[in-house]
Structure 1
């Protein structure tokens, strides 16, 4: 088949494109922004149009797959495909099609799903399983890719809740990390958001299971009516799988009352112990041996843009992180401070969406207490209305953070931020660049890599 992707550069769409290419299909696509992901696709033999134009869509295309991020009313490629009567499938529908071909284990949740999926992938690799996978980040263990195609039965899929992108998946098992309201440019309110998770969990095979965070009240609420088996994990109390913390990145893994052994992670932070517990519980439930689980967890060094060490600036370590929600910001900064207690922590934070910044403004104000210095270069604008842009600004965010933090300032754009860091950073410092937009470009400039 000849398949064209509208918005092929997204982390999910790019993975589906590569999976379908491996199945023998001829793939093309378009994207307005050229990134490391689109460059990888081009190197893999996929033709990418740098502009979305009607002329990119021809009658001989068998299938159009489009990202949920486009405006269907005005997108010229989408409109042309409709005029020609071509078959159109959304990203969520395409993910559903792929998942039906395998025994799908879906990892969902507001925070941590990329890391949990990556940990599961590493465990399955250590166990010698020939599985398929789709990940919301790149992994060295996958050769720098965000997907894997195998001949085995299992498909490990990170499934995003944005616009209910997970709604077409019918998994044999699911891992729910936690539930905290987000994506309020789509969801009406918290009840609508939580309802999407409840609906998804109801689609898990009745003979399967769902892994739940026992320490997260919302996870318990949205799973009340599931018809499959519930498998719990906890860091704070006895559960089906639980792990008392023993120090930096260390915990003892228990299955009920049975002690399985000690685990020592290479990724910092209490939130990553939770991620490891979730992955371990799922893997052990599908009969992966504990020895492989232990190796997979302990060998894992992190995934792309998840507290990723990228290099140094003036001997100061530089990390890149995708965090864009107040809870994620707090967890990341706490983990870095735990690992580098004597370093001055400089956080460069680019909010993702004016609408998200407006909704979580008070929570963002208190999210940076672990940082010694906070820099806001700008706000990344995507799916924002004119009113959103009127209601919030970098200056207002800085003012809110400054109520709780003595050293927060706005730097007017990337160039000023880069110039300041090059002059100010020293070996006594630690720099973390955070956000889900294009703020990674600052990291690349600081360390001289693109």
Structure 2
């Protein structure tokens, strides 16, 4: 079937079955933005996507089951791929599809509807969500239409970016790669037609799917697809990857601030990708990101976009970051609302991508300075005591988040950390996180992984008393009940000036609801 024949089969309108689901909703919206008459039939009585469907002119028949009139006046049927695996559903579909209308699914969408716009794909270990949202914001504030999938999900599957890229817009910005599985990024980036790839950094994560070398190879799949690459030049792994692809258009971002008192450590834990010897770091800005060199000649590449004069400014119970951004031969002073050195890197990668895509420097800086951050990333959810939640879930992420929060520490307050992290960086990573948390005043282990390494924490540890057995699913390390008990304990320990930091995916998922439950209980007691 060619595209003309396919489009002719949709001429009288079509039905999307399972259109309230993740993939089905995007199929319906793609068809609607090509001026095709679309009706969603779904047994769900309502959907949080209903306002989007109505705005985009999609007809809804919610809370309905298939019957003899379901396909009346239509010329084709689209089915969410999950339903096609359901024998009971497919039997019903065949019974009511009396006119033998063609039945399509995601394969036809991928084949016949191309993005026809620039597509930026963002991957990496830490910072990819914030970088994705920052790039989107930069373009949106400069009057570009950037499509959003509108789904309530953490992370993404291989179908979501590919479908999001096909929604109506001037440019698509997609987060790609969640689980560190072989082939995941290549398939998703290829189906999304990514032409610019941004890789934020590569550090130890998702090692339940293989070795660190396997994980590196997963992230490298973006290089196989994108013609233009935006890479962190302060990451020796990415610098090495870039040097091996002279056929690609490659731009590097990073930091040049070695004389800054903010950076005093030399984190010497990465080997030269060229000769295998231990790299010499002149300065480490963030874990393995810094100024490095090897006796074999391997060193930082020339940076196209970089930061100097970085300052962390405390404002009450929050912090902001100021620095000077350089675009080859132009500079601007900038203030970020979202603080921390990790967000300097996120902003630099975003600025580099926008600059290469053609935005002028003033427009980029305006976008960076007005970006408010991403929910679940250093998000403040309570005052007196201050409570912050963050998605940090591996050693590099925990280190930068904790160091940012420690900027708020005074002689009058304490830092209390609630650790909900699931073991994704292996036993070695769990131990590394435990040692990092020794910088806090009190640690409350909540997840199974965090309770197994408390002997490595050199500070006051207060365990929860829960007997709840929780078998973690994926990257969620704690149950809602465990997080609630941890927060209740933290609030009991904390004084008004203290700061409670909840880290890990479970912390982000459940901290708000747990906190609201506890506060409501306290009000009822009064």
Q: Give TM class, smaller chain.
A: 0.7 to 0.9
Question: Are 2:308 and 1:244 equivalent residues in the alignment?
Answer: yes
Q: Which has the higher contact order (CA 8 A, sep 6+)?
A: 1
The aligned residue for residue 404 of structure 1 is: 457
1:345, 1:372 within 8 Å by CA — same for their partners in 2? yes
Q: CA deviation at 1:178?
A: 0.6
1:41 equivalent among 44, 49, 53: 49
Q: Please list, as runs of the form range in 1=range in 2, the aligned pairs for 1:29-108 lying within 5 A after superposition.
A: 40-41=48-49, 62-65=78-81, 78=86, 89=106, 100-108=115-123
Q: CA deviation at 1:156?
A: 1.0
* Distance change (3 Å), C-alpha of 1:79 and 1:244: farther
Distance 1:220 1:15 in 2: 39
Question: Are 2:180 and 1:110 equivalent residues in the alignment?
Answer: no
Q: Please list, as runs of the form range in 1=range in 2, the aligned pairs for 1:351-430 lying within 5 A after superposition.
A: 351-352=421-422, 358=427, 360-378=429-447, 393-394=448-449, 397-411=450-464, 412=466, 413-430=482-499
1:134, 1:157 within 8 Å by CA — same for their partners in 2? no
The aligned residue for residue 278 of structure 1 is: 349
Q: CA deviation at 1:426?
A: 2.4
Q: Please list, as runs of the form range in 1=range in 2, the aligned pairs for 1:144-223 lying within 5 A after superposition.
A: 152-162=169-179, 163=181, 164-165=184-185, 166-167=188-189, 168-185=191-208, 187-205=209-227, 209-223=228-242
Helix, strand or coil for the counterpart of 1:327? helix
2:19, 2:28 within 8 Å by CA — same for their partners in 1? no
TM-score for the superposition, normalised by structure 1? 0.74
The aligned residue for residue 130 of structure 1 is: 145
* Distance change (3 Å), C-alpha of 1:263 and 1:29: farther
Helix, strand or coil for the counterpart of 2:439? coil
1:16, 1:95 within 8 Å by CA — same for their partners in 2? no
Q: CA deviation at 1:305?
A: 0.9
Unpaired segments of 5 or more residues in structure 2?
Answer: 1-13, 54-59, 64-69, 95-102, 154-160, 257-290, 292-301, 313-320, 467-481, 521-526
The aligned residue for residue 432 of structure 1 is: 501
2:81, 2:106 within 8 Å by CA — same for their partners in 1? yes
2:115, 2:193 within 8 Å by CA — same for their partners in 1? yes
Q: CA deviation at 1:228?
A: 1.9
Give the number of equivalent residue pairs.
395
1:2, 1:61 within 8 Å by CA — same for their partners in 2? yes
* Distance change (3 Å), C-alpha of 1:402 and 1:443: farther
Distance 1:15 1:410 in 2: 43
Distance 1:42 1:359 in 2: 46
CA deviations 1:255-298 (Å, max 9, x no partner) are 22x23211111111100000011111111112212122111111
RMSD: 4.1
1:109, 1:161 within 8 Å by CA — same for their partners in 2? no
* Distance change (3 Å), C-alpha of 1:220 and 1:14: farther
* Distance change (3 Å), C-alpha of 1:194 and 1:366: same
Unpaired segments of 5 or more residues in structure 1?
Answer: 32-37, 50-57, 67-74, 139-145, 379-392
1:241, 1:253 within 8 Å by CA — same for their partners in 2? yes
Distance 2:113 2:52 in 1: 20
Q: CA deviation at 1:79?
A: 5.8
| Structure ID, larger Rg | 2
Distance 2:390 2:360 in 1: 32
1:402, 1:408 within 8 Å by CA — same for their partners in 2? no
